[in-house]
Amino acid sequence: MKKKLIQHTTDFFEKSFQKAPEHIFLSPGRINIIGEHVDYNDGFVLPAAINKYICFAVSKNTTTECAIIAKDLNEVYKFDLNDNLQPVDKMWVNYILGVLHQLKNKGVNQGINIVFSSTIPMGAGLSSSAALECGIGYIMNKLFDLGLSKEQIALIGQKSEHTFVGVNCGIMDQFASVFGKKNKVIKLDCNTLDYEYHKADFKKYSLLLLDSCVKHTHLTSGYNDRRNEVEQGLAIIKTHFPEVKTFRDCTEIMVLGLKEELGEILYKRCRFVVKEIKRVQDAVKALSNDDFVQLGKLMTETHHGLSKEYEVSCEELDFLVDAVANETSVLGARMMGGGFGGCSINLVEKGSEKDLIEKISAQYRSQFGIELKAYKVKISKGTSEYIN
């Protein structure tokens, strides 16, 4: 699949620019084992890059003009590096311009031609947008020797999303896309950006994604609303507990004690955050001890928190998680990523995937009339140049 992606992206570049590309880059999507909606709350997350990529075929040209071709959308966007880069009304272009805007005057002094194509499904919660932002940042860094660290590339990607796209996202997706390592999950401390790699060996089990095929249209508004709510909640907590700097310092008891003052909504949101931060720590222990039953249990708990307390799930995702609850081959399941659609991530017994997919697909079809998609993913390396 990777080879095919590289081939057709390269071919399309040649066809479009009458020359072979000088470079090929791959930027991956990500999964997240646990730690949802806590990256912007100074929590821990446990993501990993996966073997679904955006492939970029790239060459510098001799002008200051850039031509970017989104092969899958059959769209071209051209601009001059000397233009005043502003958000436009094409979303995919904004991810790119948001990155280039930050790199202006940093040494990008020559136009480039790019064709990109992807195997990361869009709107499925697998961070195709972070893959695009980080891919562009990585390419510019390489081609123009900008001296950016991986962390800076991830932060530039995140800022692009804040400023040119309007999603006030955390750092998890970009970090995972850039720092991904084969067969490793990343335990990222979103407060300090310290990170550790942990072995992603699930022994008898594997990770299966079930794509609800519901596109998260409420993500932008719902996501930013959640951020505002937890900020308000934390401000209230801080007035009572001056020792609290971030959610990391909060306990469930503190939140419980402020139930009335917080009000129902902020109470639920804050309680989820505090519990989720703790769950990630427990999940890392479970993973290190090969205690997959416990890991699965924690994942399912996360889902219920995301659905009932943080309220970022949707009917279809709840259905997918409930549908596997009594399957003995499934240790745990939860919605993954920003929510309001996208995929569930399931920890399932190896070998049971096919039957499970058939069974759940039939139920899903009959309930919603939607054809479920399923992805078996491998944990792979982060954004990099592909050298043949």
Query: Which amino acids are annotated catalytic?
Result: 173
Q: Looking at 28, 111, 338, 382, which residue binds ligand GLA (CB under 6 A)?
A: 338
Is 334 one of the binding residues for ligand GLA (CB under 6 A)?
A: no
Is 121 one of the binding residues for ligand GLA (CB under 6 A)?
A: no
> Is the Cβ–Cβ distance between 344 and 317 less than 8 Å?
yes
Is 39 one of the binding residues for ligand GLA (CB under 6 A)?
A: yes
Q: Where are the alpha helices (DSSP H) in the chain?
A: 2-17, 91-103, 128-143, 150-160, 172-179, 219-240, 252-257, 259-288, 292-304, 315-324, 353-368
Is 173 one of the binding residues for ligand GLA (CB under 6 A)?
A: yes
Is 99 one of the binding residues for ligand GLA (CB under 6 A)?
A: no
3-state secondary structure of 118: strand
Report which of 240, 243, 238, 308 is spatially closest to residue 275, judged by C-alpha positions: 308
Question: CA Rg, the chain, in Å?
Answer: 21
Q: Which stretch binds ligand GLA (CB under 6 A): 11-19, 164-172, 204-212, 278-286?
A: 164-172
Is 311 one of the binding residues for ligand GLA (CB under 6 A)?
A: no
Q: Is the Cβ of residue 115 or residue 126 nearer to ligand GLA in the bound state?
A: 126
Q: Is the Cβ of residue 44 or residue 56 nearer to ligand GLA in the bound state?
A: 44
> Is the Cβ–Cβ distance between 379 and 371 less than 8 Å?
no
Is 43 one of the binding residues for ligand GLA (CB under 6 A)?
A: no
Distance CA 118, CA 116 (A): 7
- Those residues with Cβ within 8 angstroms of residue 322's Cβ, 6 or more apart along the chain or in another chain: none
Q: Is the Cβ of residue 21 or residue 47 nearer to ligand GLA in the bound state?
A: 47
Q: Is the Cβ of residue 190 or residue 286 nearer to ligand GLA in the bound state?
A: 190
Q: Which stretch binds ligand GLA (CB under 6 A): 170-178, 231-239, 288-296, 370-378?
A: 170-178
Is 169 one of the binding residues for ligand GLA (CB under 6 A)?
A: yes
Is 170 one of the binding residues for ligand GLA (CB under 6 A)?
A: yes
- Those residues with Cβ within 8 angstroms of residue 265's Cβ, 6 or more apart along the chain or in another chain: 229
| Closest CB 160 distance from ligand GLA, rounded Å | 12
Distance CA 343, CA 361 (A): 13
- Those residues with Cβ within 8 angstroms of residue 149's Cβ, 6 or more apart along the chain or in another chain: none
Distance CA 111, CA 67 (A): 8
Is 276 one of the binding residues for ligand GLA (CB under 6 A)?
A: no
| Closest CB 304 distance from ligand GLA, rounded Å | 16
Is 309 one of the binding residues for ligand GLA (CB under 6 A)?
A: no
Distance CA 21, CA 14 (A): 7
Is 37 one of the binding residues for ligand GLA (CB under 6 A)?
A: yes
Question: What number of chain residues touch ligand GLA (CB under 6 A)?
Answer: 11
Q: Which stretch binds ligand GLA (CB under 6 A): 37-45, 249-257, 276-284, 379-387?
A: 37-45
**How far lies 90's CA from each of 31, 203, 276, in Å?**
26, 43, 35
Cα dihedral angle (178, 182, 183, 184), rounded to 10 degrees?
Answer: -30
**208 - beta bridge partners?**
346, 376
Site string for ligand GLA, 122-141 (x = CB under 6 A): -----x--------------
Q: Which stretch binds ligand GLA (CB under 6 A): 32-40, 56-64, 100-108, 319-327?
A: 32-40
Is 209 one of the binding residues for ligand GLA (CB under 6 A)?
A: no
Q: Looking at 137, 305, 337, 382, which residue binds ligand GLA (CB under 6 A)?
A: 337
| Closest CB 45 distance from ligand GLA, rounded Å | 7
Using alpha carbons only, what angle is made at residue 283 by residues 282 and 286, rounded to the nearest 5 degrees? 90
| Closest CB 173 distance from ligand GLA, rounded Å | 4
Contacting positions for ligand GLA (CB under 6 A):
36-37, 39-40, 127, 169-170, 172-173, 337-338
